[in-house]
Amino acid sequence: ELDRPQDSDSQEDATVLANFAGLLVYGIARKMSLGGLLIAGGDTAFGVLRALGASTVDVSSEIEHGAPLGVIGDGVGAGLTIVTKAGGFGDEEFFVRTLEAIRESG
């Protein structure tokens, strides 16, 4: 297992990566119709939502504890189903369950 340094540079790196992920998703969302989003990691989720111009997410349920399913309320991703989860937990089947839930919600 890799150790993650906990210094100010690592937080700055996390912010840069989250913003970059947001810009990627924004670019894709403007060019094509997305069926939903699954975002792992809180920093990444905020970066993506910020880039999409989303200020609200209407949470309707949880895939499992700590992994809410909702719909983006405004911005470029308005109406898009989204699932977020913390980066540090979840079993191998989490992504399968999430994909099924996104398909069922849309």
pLDDT confidence of residue 5: 54
Q: Which of 13, 74, 85 is nearest to 49 (CA)?
A: 74
* 25 phi/psi in degrees, rounded to 5: -65, -40
User: pLDDT for 42-96, tens place per residue?
Assistant: 899 999 999 999 999 999 999 988 899 999 999 999 999 999 998 777 788 888 9
What are the structural domains of the chain? 8-105 (3.40.980.20)
In this model, does residue 102 exceed pLDDT 80?
yes
The 8-class DSSP code of residue 90 comes to -
Q: Is the pTM of this model over 0.75?
A: yes
Please state the rounded mean pLDDT for residues 14-25.
94
In this model, does residue 1 exceed pLDDT 80?
no
Distance in angstroms (rounded) separating the CA atoms of residues 32 and 41: 24
pLDDT confidence of residue 7: 58
C-alpha distances out from residue 9 to 14, 21, 28, 45, Å: 9, 18, 29, 20
In this model, does residue 3 exceed pLDDT 60?
no
